[in-house]
Amino acid sequence: MAPEKLTEYERRRIENIKRNEEMLAALKIQSRVSELSAVTKRPRAQSKSYQASPQKKQKSKSPVVLRRSLRTKGIPPDSSTAGGIKDDSDDLPDRIAPNKYSQPAPKKSPREPIPISMRDAYSGDFDVSNQRLIETIKDFSHKIDDGDDRIEKRKASGTVHLESLRLEPDNIARVVPGRILNVRFFPTNNVRMVAVGNKFGNIGFWNVDAPQEDGDGIYLYHPHSGPVSGIVMDPFSASKMFTSCYDGFIRVMDIEKEMFDLAYLSEHPIFSISQWPHDMNSIYYGEGSGELGICDLRAGKSSVSWKLHEERINTIDFTSENCNIMATSSTDGSACIWDLRKVSAHKPKSLQTVRHKRAVHSAYFSPSGRFLATTSIDNTVGLLSGANYEDTSMVSHFNHTNRWISSFRGIWGWDDSYIYIGNMQRGVDVISVADKKLDFTLRSEHMTAIPCRFDAHQDKVGMLAGATSGGQVYIWTAS
DNA sequence: ATTGTCATTACTCAA
DNA sequence: TTGAGTCCATGACAAT
């Protein structure tokens, strides 16, 4: 890096620290004030929320534009960002000058097909906050690497007592602005941390156990330019997190490099991602109208693209038992189970197919792999079982969400007994596999919005994260 | 068979 | 408290 850049960097850093201290002081005052006025019976403003800095908050609220739309409409990329996509040949990452992102200009458009440093993607003014998050993740990822905090891949273990699940007021936060499409726990036991992706391309982190002096533990980044369609935590390397976006990008947050690196760039919108359990260097993703691609992370290239569905693939899932078995759900109204050894490019034939009357928004294997749960907006939750998933039963559940609520997706808990899914009455419905019906509903006066996307902590039985279309995250815990 | 447009309606934020 | 603004999801149906 050029010396002048270094001095520029230093100068900026000092400025940042100074402003940071001022802001922290202001925040302390603010939190005192909110403590005083926190007696309101229906707290509209939650105690915890992301702090968008005044200057940088969504300047120009850059409209969510897919790359496709850009090209078809012939709109040139934002002229303030050099190296925008002009044509297809520019999309290749290896043709991009390596140091374009290091300009001291405020924030780069995440549309550029280049790596983005976490510092540049950070949506606050204060680099110390960014550094604090990086240190936190480094800290627990090293512990995981050393085996101190390793969580084995999710197993069928732990029966949860639904009546004991609670939503504590402290476990609620507004993590990002706008609609959350994805929430995921970090695979660690010592620190409770979630990452969420929203419609604007933000990735927000919430360290629930952040020390008091570290503020609210919420960190906001902007590594993508469109809706974040998927988040994958590498279970064996907590310093890596993959995110996909409608704009065709798959990025990997590399905490050692402190970057949102470019893993893959597709011509088509990417609607889903998953990691192949057998080989951590393979990312499976759903792109365009029903295509499934496999990306080799070392080569940075896609090896295959299979047309598995007629319309977009909403989820991709694997069993922990058999790495060659994969499930996909699609807007074309079907969910399929595939044997990867038998899929060929020309005539993909599924092992099993469930047909719903309408779009299927998820298909997830149970922790043991013996069941598959599908969620469709035809108001059913499908349950597949049997040696070859040949037995299908449909559980009735109202799955219609409106335009502003992300579709419901039934997820599994910590064993094969329950499926958790949102409802329009601000509750979490729990479907019993044994009874094949709705068994229980989690309710809380603190859930002031509809939780539509969920994640179950891989190890802590009863720890369930629900995310809303207003950027909130609720973390239920077993008391 | 593809493309367009319309209605739906929950939440946040600013007054 | 109210009211404006949101706006890439989806299905139904109309138009090409």
Nearest residue for C6, CA–C1': A404
Please check whether strand C approaches the CB of A197 to within 7 Å: no
> Closest nucleotide (CA of A357 to C1')?
C11
Q: Which fold has domain A120-478?
A: Methylamine Dehydrogenase; Chain H (2.130.10)
Q: In angstroms, rounded to a whole number, what is the distance separating the alpha carbons of residues A261 and A368?
A: 33
Q: In angstroms, rounded to a whole number, what is the distance separating the alpha carbons of residues A76 and A97?
A: 20
Please check whether strand C approaches the CB of A377 to within 7 Å: yes
User: How high is the pLDDT of residue A211?
Assistant: 83
Tokens for A305, please give them.
């693209």
Q: In angstroms, rounded to a whole number, what is the distance separating the alpha carbons of residues A164 and A180?
A: 27
Nearest residue for C11, CA–C1': A358
A13/A220: higher pLDDT: A220
Mark residue A383 as left, alpha or beta (left: phi above 0; alpha: psi -120 to 50; beta: remaining): beta
The pLDDT > 70 percentage for chain A reads: 73
User: How high is the pLDDT of residue A273?
Assistant: 95
- Which residues in range 344-373 of chain A are in contact with strand B, contact meaning CB within 7 A of any of its atoms? none
The CA–CA distances, whole Å, from A351 to A348, A363, A440 equal 10, 14, 33
pLDDT at A399 over 90: yes
Angstrom distance, A211 CA to B13 C1': 30
The stretch A96-111 carries a mean pLDDT of 33
Angle made by CA atoms A158, A163, A168, in degrees to the nearest 5: 95
Domain boundaries, chain A: 120-478
Please check whether strand C approaches the CB of A69 to within 7 Å: yes
User: How high is the pLDDT of residue A115?
Assistant: 87
Q: In angstroms, rounded to a whole number, what is the distance separating the alpha carbons of residues A294 and A121?
A: 27
User: How high is the pLDDT of residue A39?
Assistant: 29
pLDDT in tens, A263-287: 999 988 999 999 998 888 999 999 9
Angstrom distance, A302 CA to C11 C1': 34
- Which residues in range 84-143 of chain A are in contact with strand B, contact meaning CB within 7 A of any of its atoms? none
Angstrom distance, A469 CA to B10 C1': 9
User: How high is the pLDDT of residue A7?
Assistant: 36
CA neighbours closer than 13 Å in the CB half-sphere of residue A270 = 33
Point out which residues pair with A380 in neighbouring strands: A376, A396
Please check whether strand B approaches the CB of A403 to within 7 Å: yes
Q: Please, are residues A148 and A416 in contact by the beta-carbon 8 Å criterion?
A: no
Please check whether strand B approaches the CB of A44 to within 7 Å: yes
Q: Residue A218, Cβ neighbours under 10 Å: how many?
A: 23
pTM of the model: 0.80
> How does DSSP assign A43-104, residue by residue?
-SS-SSB----TTTTTGGG-----HHHHHHHTPPPPTTSTT---SGGGG-GGGS-TTGGG--
pLDDT in tens, A335-363: 999 999 888 766 678 889 999 999 999 99
Nearest residue for B7, CA–C1': A403
Angstrom distance, A123 CA to B14 C1': 23
At residue A114 the predicted structure's pLDDT band, cuts being 50, 70 and 90, is confident
Strand B bases with any atom < 7 A from protein Cβ: 7-13
Point out which residues pair with A472 in neighbouring strands: A174
> Closest nucleotide (CA of A468 to C1')?
B11
Please check whether strand C approaches the CB of A359 to within 7 Å: yes
pLDDT at A71 over 60: no
Q: In angstroms, rounded to a whole number, what is the distance separating the alpha carbons of residues A46 and A175?
A: 10
pLDDT at A390 over 50: yes
Please check whether strand B approaches the CB of A198 to within 7 Å: no
> Closest nucleotide (CA of A401 to C1')?
C9
Please check whether strand C approaches the CB of A331 to within 7 Å: yes
